[in-house]
Structure 1
Amino acid sequence: MAWKDKLQPATFRGVPFEVESDDGSFGRRTQVHEYPQRDKPYAEDLGRATRELNVTAFLIGADYLDARDKLLEALETAGPGTLVHPWYGELKVSLKDPARVSHSIANGGMCTVQLSFVEAGELAFPSAGNSLGAKSLEAADRLQEAGSFDYVEKFDVNGKASSVFDDGVKTFNDALDLIDNAESTVKSIMSNPLDFLKQRATTLIPDAVAMADTIFGMYKRGESVVESVASMFGGGGASARNGDVVSALTSLSATFANRATIADAVAKTPGISPSRAQAATNAAAINHLFGQAALVQAVGMTTTMDLPIYDDAVKIRDNVTAALDNESLIVSDPVYVALQDARAAVHADVTGRLSQSARLKTITPRSITPALVTAYDQFEDVAREGEIVDLNKIRRPGFVPAEPIRVLSV
């Protein structure tokens, strides 16, 4: 097929015209930076340049004046229009400069039109969207509020037998012992030493509001969590260590939920004395309080921590949502609603961030080498040393063992 056979009839907004010649400009936008006392400049690439097309058109024939008027009407219509260019095909363009129309007595029966177009592009505004992370933090706050209110409603030692007070102190200390015996990662995010909380037991037990505030405030929040983990483990594997903390918190919440279930069953035992029933109710309330405090912290950490690894992110999401579901089985209606709201918020937040997480692959170094060397061998980028240390929780980056380790696939 000859090149002439490939040419398309020229039109603008559906109005036909003939083309004598054309030219266009294409390429990149470049900003040249020149510096004193330097012989070589720096050319900064600012992206693709706007495409411009200049067309010398003409209209000819007995009805060329009518054709001219139709073309002028099309050119004066607001907004971008469709140009069918003989060589470039269909394009969305805007008129860059006013068209110039020329008539000549020597060339009667025709007129020439100089057209200058630029690609129309699009007007893009920043899109507004919901912050899923902020929704998770709001859901955690609502869970804390609902859990605190529920605890204040159910826990009572005032005017009761001294054994009820003593049982409350024992349950409180048992809960702290459970945390003390948990993984060390949990204790790294405590706001106060556990012994300090135990010393306050006799003053907190009679004051349900102070107790709820203390328990929900026993964990550090935000960046202080990352700093605590980094300082505890020498800065290696902060993201992975925070994932371990979340896992430990969800495990703790499950244990507290089991204890609360047992205490609830005791409180509902037929024929039990009022004092024992209240002591059991108090025990259930304390365990629910500790469990929900762990879940509030887990939700907050999941929302604020980095999730660089796809598999780890999915695991954390599933652990947290399962723990929230487990707690939902044994609580009052207001707390149930707050737990389910938190579950939905965490699931949406983490799922929305999965596209930013990378997959993993396993490699085995040939010998014991520094993480710096491993990063260069694998990625030819020594700046990714910290990534390898983080993923594999390596405490001594100068000595990566000759055994399977995880690295990002990209």
Structure 2
Amino acid sequence: MNIGGGAGAVLGTTSGISNLASSLAARLGGSAGSYFDQLRPASFRGVPFVSLGGEGAFGRRNETHEYPLRDTPWVEDLGRGTRRFRVFGFLVGDDVIAQRDLMIAACEKEGAGALVHPTYGRRDVSLMDSRWIERWEKGRYFEVEFDFIEGGPRVFPASSVASGSLVESAASGLNVAAALNFASTALTALSYGAAVLGEAVNTAVGWYTSAKNLVGDARNLFRLLTNLPGDFGRFAGSATVPTFSKYPSSSVDTSGATVASLTLAAAAARANLDTASANLDVAARSLDASSIDDFTTAVQGVTSAMLAATPDPADSMRLLTSLASYAPSGVTTSSTIGTAMATMQSASADLFRRSTIATVAVAASSYEPTSSDDAARVRGQVLGLIDAEMSIAGDQNDDETYEALCSLRRAVVSDLNQRGAGLPAIRSFLFQASLPSLVLANRIYRDASRADELTAQADPIHPAFFPTSFKALAT
């Protein structure tokens, strides 16, 4: 670029530049103000200079992989390329030497600095090189050329644990420990005959019947629609924006699902639960020392089928938590056989409850919290079940189950703490008058497009008439 030639034109009068801009604008269409009013005064680290123009280099970082006997290469995209700016400018004035010294000091300063470019605006850049030209015939005028690259903060590698996998592993450990403790208690009771076996069957029937009734919950069926693309209103949730939906764990379905196909899938899932319940019934009726494993496996099959029949993790936790509170209603006597029947009833209930708690923890690992407060709420809900069961296992000297519950507790805490740490908190907002969601979203977040999000969080009677006080995401 001929900097000197461009500078000669600039060294003319201001009115000359204005006339030239107006002439060019008239030839190209539009007005000079529509472009020149957008330009910003150039500076680097706060030291101003006059920009004559520049060059930029942008694109992607691509690595080309070529293979023998293959005509076309595979191009691996490694991310956005480094943005490079070459800026041409000058300093002018009676104090041009002082201006140059200030600019040289700015160029030699350590670290990145702020570049204000006439068209790109403010950028955090690192100066790679600068060149100065002084011409004796131009007197108080120095030319300068800068080479910048846009940079960012220093980022170090960070290790993270797949906390969801840890929860599933700990849940499997709890199922194994619960089965072991059940076997050690149930085998002794079974030696007292058919009445004890009948108590196991009755307890199992009551439990899986409760599971089947819970899966038919109306809310569980209604929430099937939240997996469809589109906005179904704040009472049903919006699958288009699952991050702040009223049902945040719902995800957008991209497989072309319809109401009919989702209903069919839900019916198939409930049929699988019926099959799992039937398997448990058969295992309970043939329960003996050789079929203990079949019985405990059938119990876990019921909880797994119930989890699969509730596609929304929030619903899964709600329904499974209800199932975890199941208590057998059979009445026993104080006789020897009656005591054995009570022992079998209690052991079966313990096994059912612990398998359900393990499944609740797995459902919580799939739940996507909307805020750090939401993550803390879910964590407290799951830990409440685990802590209560730890007390029962400790009182019964079920050491294996107690240790497995401790491991599951640690995994749940780690998982929800890790996933909730980067989410914003919920805070209370107070306004003097009722305002519409668009106004509030712009005032709180400086982004009117978050009005639907705000509506889902605050749940007003109508989005145009928010209450004067409500709770929503802080940021």
Distance across 2 between alignment mates of 1:101 and 1:312: 58
Equivalent runs, 1:1-400 vs 2, <5 Å = 19=49, 21-23=50-52, 53-57=87-91, 71=104, 80-82=111-113, 92-95=124-127, 98-104=129-135, 112-122=143-153, 128-157=159-188, 162-163=191-192, 165-182=193-210, 184-186=213-215, 188=270, 190=273, 192-207=275-290, 208-220=292-304, 225-226=307-308, 228-229=309-310, 239=312, 243-256=314-327, 280-304=342-366, 318-331=380-393, 332-346=398-412, 349=415, 352=419, 355=423
Contact 1:259 1:287 in 2 (8 A): no
Letter in 1 for 2:318: S
Change (3 A) 1:171 1:343: farther
**Distance of 1:308 and 1:350 partners within structure 2:** 12
State whether residues 280 and 295 of structure 2, in contact with CA within 8 Å, keep that contact through their aligned partners in structure 1.
Answer: no
- 1:110 deviation in Å? 9.4
State TM-score, norm by structure 2: 0.47
| Residue 173 (structure 1) shift | 0.9
Mark the CA change 1:113 to 1:325 in structure 2 (over 3 Å): closer, same or farther: same
CA distance in 2, matches of 1:306, 1:278: 44
Secondary structure in 2 matching 1:200: helix
Shift of 1:344: 4.8
Q: Secondary structure at the residue paired with 1:100?
A: strand
Does the aligned pair in 2 maintain the 1:53–1:116 contact within 8 Å? yes
- Whether the aligned pair in 2 keeps the contact of 1:303 and 1:350 (CA below 8 Å) is yes
Distance change >3 Å, CA 305–CA 313, structure 1 → 2:
same
Cα distance in 2 for residues equivalent to 1:346 and 1:191: 30
CA spacing shift, 1:318–1:90, aligned 2, 3 Å: closer
Cα distance in 1, alignment partners of residues 52 and 356 from structure 2: 69
- Kindly indicate whether the alpha-carbon contact (under 8 Å) linking 1:11 and 1:85 is maintained by their aligned counterparts in 2: yes
Instruction: Return the offset for 1:289.
Output: 1.1
Structure 2 Cα separation of the partners of residues 329 and 315 of structure 1: 21
Q: What code does the residue aligned with 2:206 have? A: L
| Separation of aligned partners in 2, 1:115 and 1:316 | 54
2:220 match:
none
Q: Deviations over 1:254-305 (max 9, x none)?
A: 334x889x99xx9xx9xx86x7766654443322111111222222223335
Deviation string for 1:351-403 (max 9, x for gaps)?
Answer: 746959999xxxxxxxxxxxxxxxxxxxxxxxx9xxx9xx9xxxxxxxxxxxx
Residue aligned with 1:342, SS: helix
Whether the aligned pair in 1 keeps the contact of 2:84 and 2:148 (CA below 8 Å) is no
CA distance in 2, matches of 1:18, 1:302: 56
Compared CA separation, residues 58 and 308, structure 1 to 2 (3 A): closer
Q: Provide the C-alpha distance between the structure 1 equivalents of 2:171 and 2:329, rounded to a whole number of angstroms.
A: 23
SS of the residue corresponding to residue 275 of structure 2 reads: coil
TM-superposed deviation, 1:198? 2.5
Residue equivalent to 2:261: none
Residue 191 to residue 181, structure 1, CA distance change in 2 (3 Å):
closer
In the superposition, relative to structure 1, how do residues 116 and 243 fare at CA in structure 2: closer, same or farther (>3 Å)?
Answer: closer
Deviations 1:51-104 (A, max 9, x none): 77544358999x99x969x949x8689x843368799999742235x4333355
Instruction: Work out the CA distance in 2 between the residues paired with 1:202 and 1:181.
Output: 16
1:218-262 CA deviation, whole Å, 9 max, x = no partner?
A: 3335xx845x45xxxxxxxx53xx645533432332334x889x9
Q: Which runs of 5+ in 1 are unaligned?
A: 1-7, 31-45, 230-237, 360-383, 392-408
Q: TM-score, normalised by structure 1?
A: 0.53
Partner of 2:438: none
Change beyond 3 A, Cα 1:244–1:104: closer
Alpha-carbon distance between aligned partners in 2 of 1:195 and 1:91, rounded to the nearest angstrom = 67
Cα shift at 1:169? 1.5
In structure 1, distance between residues paired with 2:200 and 2:412? 29
2:425 and 2:113 map into 1 onto residues whose CA distance is 41
Alpha-carbon spacing, 1:162–1:349, altered in 2? closer, same or farther (3 Å): closer
Q: Tell me the distance in 2 between the aligned counterparts of 1:151 and 1:320.
A: 23
Instruction: Look up the SS of the partner of 2:286 in the other structure.
Output: helix
Partners of 2:48 and 2:286 in 1: how far apart?
94
> Aligned partners of 1:144, 1:126: CA distance in 2, in Å?
36
| 1:116–1:279 CA distance, 2 compared to 1 (3 A) | same
* CA positional deviation for 1:170: 2.0
Tell me the secondary structure at the aligned position of residue 287 of structure 1.
Answer: helix
For these two proteins, the number of residue pairs brought into alignment is 304
Cα gap change, 1:346/1:320 in structure 2, threshold over 3 Å: closer, same or farther? same
Could you say if the C-alpha distance between residues 52 and 341 of structure 1 is closer, same or farther in structure 2, counting changes exceeding 3 Å?
farther
Contact 2:54–2:85 (8 Å) recurs in 1:
yes
% same residue: 18
- Tell me which amino acid in the other structure corresponds to 1:292: R
User: Tell me, which stretches of 5 or more residues in structure 2 are unaligned?
Assistant: 1-40, 60-79, 217-269, 428-451, 460-471
State the secondary structure of the residue aligned to 1:22.
Answer: strand
8 Å contact from structure 2 (residues 200, 344) kept in 1: no
